[in-house]
Structure 1
Amino acid sequence: MTVDDSIRRKFTVRFGPAVGEWLDALPALVESLCARWNLTVEHAIAVGGTSRVFRCRREDGSRAFLKLTPDREVATTELTALRAWRRSPHMVDVLVADVDAGALLLPAIAPGTMIEDEPELIPFEVLRSLREDVDLPAGLPHLSDRVRFMAELTVRRAPELESLTGKGIELTEGGVQGLVHGDLHGRNVLRGPHGLVAIDPRPTIGDLTFDLVDWALAPGVATREELERRITRITAGLSYVDGERLLAWCSAVAVIIAATLRPGAQRDFLVELAQR
């Protein structure tokens, strides 16, 4: 098992240079967990810069995903949220965990197709369930902490956008407060055997409107008219959503999304939106 340079770069941006030691020790950690949990690694999954994920076969022949992060808090908060959403049919379950090792074992979802290629789809059943089928947990950070961190990460990724970061803190206290997924977009919603299923939360407590930004600013949205059309659809489908608050959140988060995009019409629109 090797860790290529692109993965090292992503993890270094997210966690700093010290993460190199964790990446070097990762093969031994995977081997140890596979022995404990009776797993056989099939292959690694290409993901973001927070976790490494391996598709595994369990002793009974079923498949599962071994998710590993160098940050114990990331594993702990995700486990807390998954347990809080255990009543929801639209959130992935957790099979077993070792937060000291930064490890979660999650069941495979079939067919597991991401909905990122369906930009017109807004997963209302997921959004409703994550608000309603939840036991609000204690011990999670506040949304304001995540907004600050995302602003810091944006500066690391795109220093030229630093002057546009820092917005949104004032929005975290208002709106409908609850358990926020924190990273709910088309790559983190999969087609399951009985409907759509969300994965990979970055959970906090705060304004639930935050989880709607990626659906308002879906891939391809590059004009104010298209954004307003999406917001109108969302407010029609979710009675608790205030359109003006969602627009304000879109303006606050636009620069964070822009920092992850290549030059183009949507990135230009998001930078313009962030300047308002």
Structure 2
Amino acid sequence: MDTDSVTTRLVRRFGPQVAGWCSDLPETVVRLTSRWGLSLGDSLPDGGSSVALRCQWPDGTPAVLKLSPDRALLGEQAGMLAWFAASGRVPSVLAVDEEAGAMVLEEIVPGTPAEDLPAASLPGQWSALLAALHGVPPPLQPTRVLRERCEEAFARVGRRLSEPAISARIDVTAWDRAIQRCEWLLDTEVTTVLLHGDLHLGNVLDGGAERGLMAIDPKACVGDPCFDAVDYVVAGAGSEGVETRCARVAAACGLDGDRLHAWSQVIAPFAAVAHLGSGGEEPVIDELLAMIR
């Protein structure tokens, strides 16, 4: 684990106040490994707000030690995974330490990210995943609604509009247009379900023939079922095209195609910001920017 790169990444996400948590990370890992009897393996690909290390539970179960300076969110995620457990489409939680910002999860095997699976079969598999996740009733205790999730995302990502590479291509008018589209969709919700809330292709893994697609890292909320398909749709930019993928996914998943397309126009600027900030491919950026207009 490269502590310097972890610190750089997490400070960029959370601010300089997390630097102390990052400097304590090696000691935290040693302490938790000893307490839970874990055998540590290699690091897994970086998440947006966490660190993940492959490990083995004392009984030999392949597992993942996940740590985050956002202790509250990590504790919430453990609860969210428990909500979705009945679906059979999320990993089991083996241990949690909310104070440390850590939990141990069952490792999904083989764990191939959805973006690396055969494209032709993915709409059908996504349909089965959504049916399982959305079939879980919302918890009795209060949970977030999609409006709150969207407001947080627009506020957080909107701060990046001042970055030169982004401000040169996306202005405040375009960003406000996306906000207005989002508000209209939220105001016209008819059907609502318990959403995963962050179901992009990196958060969906292959669980093998028996389990199918598996979802990780939920940001659960209640809202429009189209929201859990829109990141997959927008990821079609620069390849088969967002409109073509939208039609395929809506048909496979039994979703309202017009609403799914409208949600893709809301999410397109988020994807554009990510690609512009990381030097993404120009054909992808061009298609996303055309959707914003």
User: TM-score normalised to the size of structure 2?
Assistant: 0.84
Say whether 1:245 aligns with 2:264: no
* 2:136/2:194 contact within 8 Å kept: no
Letter in 1 for 2:286: D
In the alignment, which of 144, 150, 153 is matched to residue 153 of structure 2? Answer: 150
Range that drifts further, 33-42 or 158-167: 158-167
Letter in 1 for 2:151: R
Per-residue deviation at 1:242?
1.5
- C-alpha separation in 2, matches of 1:254 and 1:237: 21
- C-alpha separation in 1, matches of 2:204 and 2:229: 13
Letter in 1 for 2:226: T
Say whether 1:273 aligns with 2:287: no
Q: Which residue of 1 aligns with 2:103?
A: 104
Q: Which residue of 2 aligns with 1:4?
A: 4
Give per-residue Cα distances to partners, 1:6-31, cap 9 Å, x unaligned: x3232122211111111001111111
Please list every run of 5 or more consecutive structure 2 residues that lacks an aligned counterpart in the other structure: none
Letter in 2 for 1:44: S
* 2:250/2:260 contact within 8 Å kept: no
Range that drifts further, 72-81 or 167-176: 167-176
Say whether 1:35 aligns with 2:34: yes
Letter in 1 for 2:156: L
Per-residue deviation at 1:219?
4.0
Give the secondary structure class of the aligned counterpart of 2:24: helix
Give per-residue Cα distances to partners, 1:238-274, cap 9 Å, x unaligned: 33x2211111111111000111111411111112212
* 1:77/1:140 contact within 8 Å kept: no
Say whether 1:184 aligns with 2:199: yes
Range that drifts further, 230-239 or 59-68: 230-239
Give per-residue Cα distances to partners, 1:31-86, cap 9 Å, x unaligned: 11111211121122122221111111222222210111111221122112111111
Letter in 2 for 1:4: D
Q: Which residue of 2 aligns with 1:207?
A: 224
Q: Which residue of 2 aligns with 1:93?
A: 92
Give the secondary structure class of the aligned counterpart of 2:144: coil
For 1:159-238, what aligned pairs fall within 5 Å after superposition?
159=162, 160=167, 161=170, 163=172, 164-166=174-176, 167=179, 168-173=182-187, 174-193=189-208, 194=210, 195-221=212-238, 226-238=241-253
- C-alpha separation in 2, matches of 1:76 and 1:188: 18
Give the secondary structure class of the aligned counterpart of 1:54: strand
* 2:138/2:193 contact within 8 Å kept: no
Give the secondary structure class of the aligned counterpart of 1:55: strand
Per-residue deviation at 1:158?
4.5
- C-alpha separation in 1, matches of 2:186 and 2:13: 23
Give per-residue Cα distances to partners, 1:113-164, cap 9 Å, x unaligned: 1121244422211111110134535343222222222223323445313513
How many residues are treated as equivalent by the alignment? 271
For 1:249-260, what aligned pairs fall within 5 Å after superposition?
249-260=263-274
Give per-residue Cα distances to partners, 1:184-240, cap 9 Å, x unaligned: 1222211113222111112222222111111212244468xx33322222222233x
* 1:148/1:169 contact within 8 Å kept: no
Please list every run of 5 or more consecutive structure 1 residues that lacks an aligned counterpart in the other structure: none
* 2:114/2:202 contact within 8 Å kept: yes
Range that drifts further, 50-59 or 199-208: 199-208
Give the secondary structure class of the aligned counterpart of 1:100: coil
Q: Which residue of 1 aligns with 2:78?
A: 79
Range that drifts further, 142-151 or 157-166: 157-166
* 2:112/2:206 contact within 8 Å kept: yes
